[in-house]
C-alpha cells in the first residue's frame, strides 16, 4: 500500500521538501509525482490528477484514495495512521512542544520566507539581513535552543531523535545556508546537521538534475558553492565499460555512465546518472559499488 505525493521543483519548493521528508525519513512507502510549478501547468496538472480542491503543492493521496493538501494536515494524518513510525516525540511534553514549533513554522517567519526564498543551488554572498529577518532568526534560535535544552539529550536533532519538527525546519536550515544568514554556533551546528543528512542530500541532488533559465527568485548577488558536504569527484562519461551490469537503483541494464572517484558506474537512465554525479555519497547503493 503506497501513498502518492505530488511535488514541485526540488531545488526551490520548500513545502514539497517538507512533504517528501515526512514520508522517506519514517519509512512510509511513497511514489513522487511532479507538478509543473514553474512551467505554468500547476493548476492543470492538479486537476488532471484528480486532486481537487488542491491548488498548491504538496498534495498526498492515500492508498485508499483520500486526497489531502497542506503539510501540517498531512503530518497529522500520517502520524495518526502510522503511530509505530514515531513521527512525533514519544514524551507527551516533548510532543506538545514539537507541535507548537511545527505550527509556528507553518504559519510564521514571513520575513524570512519572503526575503530569502528557498533555493538549493548555491550560497549567496553579501545578503543584507533586514531587521525583520533578524527578528525571525532570533525567534528560530530561541525555539531551537529550547527544544534542544529540554529534549535533545538522546540525539542531535531538535528533540533528540529525528521528528516532524526537523522535517518542518529543514527548509529553514536551507535558507540559513543558502543566504549565509548569521546565527549562533548551536543553530549553525543544526544547519550543518540538516545539510549532511542523507535524505536531504538526495532531494538536493535530484533537484540539481534540472536547469533553469532564468533561475527562479534569483538575487543580484555573487554566489559561492553550496555549504553542504563537499561531493566526491564525479562526472558523466559517454561510455563504459562499467564495473556493474545493472543500475544500482532499478536493477535494469545500464545505458548511461559516470566516472566516480576513478571508477566507471553504469545507470539505467540519465537522471539516475546525474543525481549520483551531483552527490555520490548521498546514494548508498552507489557507494556500495565503490567499496
> Cα–Cα distance between 126 and 254 in angstroms, integer?
44
Residue 187 phi/psi, 5° resolution? -70, -40
* Model pLDDT, residue 126: 98
**Residue 99 pLDDT level (bands cut at 50, 70, 90):** very high
* Model pLDDT, residue 39: 87
> Cα–Cα distance between 163 and 16 in angstroms, integer?
17
Contact 27, 85 (CB under 8 A): yes
DSSP 160: B
34, pLDDT greater than 90: yes
User: Cα 208–230–19 angle (5° rounding)?
Assistant: 45
Q: How confident is the model over 264-290, as pLDDT tens digits? A: 999 999 999 999 999 999 999 999 999
List, edge to edge, every strand of the sheet that includes 263-267.
234-237, 256-260, 263-267
Contact 176, 183 (CB under 8 A): yes
7, pLDDT greater than 90: yes
Region 181-205 average pLDDT:
98
pTM above 0.95, yes or no: yes
147, pLDDT greater than 90: yes
Average pLDDT, the chain: 97
Which is nearest to 71 in space by CA: 14, 134, 154, 2? 14
* Model pLDDT, residue 1: 85
Amino acid at each position: 500500500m503506497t501513498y502518492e505525493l505530488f511535488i514541485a521543483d526540488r531545488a526551490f519548493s520548500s513545502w514539497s521538501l517538507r512533504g517528501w521528508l515526512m514520508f522517506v525519513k519514517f519509512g512510509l512507502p511513497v511514489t513522487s509525482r511532479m507538478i509543473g510549478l514553474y512551467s505554468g501547468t500547476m493548476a492543470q496538472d492538479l486537476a488532471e490528477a484528480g486532486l481537487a480542491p488542491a491548488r498548491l503543492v504538496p498534495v498526498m493521496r492515500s492508498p485508499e484514495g483520500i486526497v489531502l493538501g497542506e503539510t501540517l494536515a498531512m503530518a497529522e494524518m500520517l502520524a495518526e495512521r502510522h503511530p509505530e513510525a514515531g513521527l512525533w516525540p514519544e514524551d507527551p511534553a516533548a510532543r506538545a512542544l514539537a507541535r507548537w514549533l511545527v505550527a509556528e513554522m507553518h504559519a510564521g517567519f514571513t520575513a524570512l520566507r519572503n526575503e530569502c526564498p528557498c533555493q538549493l543551488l548555491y550560497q549567496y554572498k553579501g545578503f543584507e539581513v533586514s531587521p525583520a529577518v533578524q527578528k525571525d532568526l532570533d525567534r528560530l534560535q530561541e525555539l531551537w535552543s529550547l527544544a534542544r535544552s529540554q529534549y535533545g539529550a538522546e540525539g542531535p536533532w531538535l528533540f533528540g531523535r529525528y521528528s516532524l519538527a526537523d522535517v518542518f525546519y529543514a527548509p529553514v536550515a536551507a535558507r540559513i545556508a543558502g543566504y549565509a544568514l548569521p546565527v549562533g554556533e548551536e543553530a549553525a551546528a543544526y544547519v550543518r546537521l540538516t545539510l549532511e543528512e542523507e535524505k536531504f542530500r538526495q532531494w538536493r541532488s535530484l533537484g540539481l538534475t534540472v536547469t533553469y533559465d532564468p533561475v527562479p527568485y534569483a538575487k543580484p548577488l555573487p554566489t559561492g558553492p553550496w555549504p553542504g558536504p563537499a561531493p566526491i569527484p564525479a562526472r558523466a562519461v559517454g561510455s563504459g565499460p562499467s564495473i556493474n551490469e545493472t543500475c544500482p537503483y532499478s536493477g535494469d541494464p545500464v545505458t548511461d555512465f559516470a566516472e566516480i572517484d576513478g571508477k566507471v558506474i553504469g545507470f539505467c537512465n540519465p537522471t539516475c546518472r546525474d543525481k549520483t554525479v551531483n552527490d555520490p555519497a548521498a546514494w548508498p547503493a552507489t557507494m556500495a559499488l565503490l567499496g
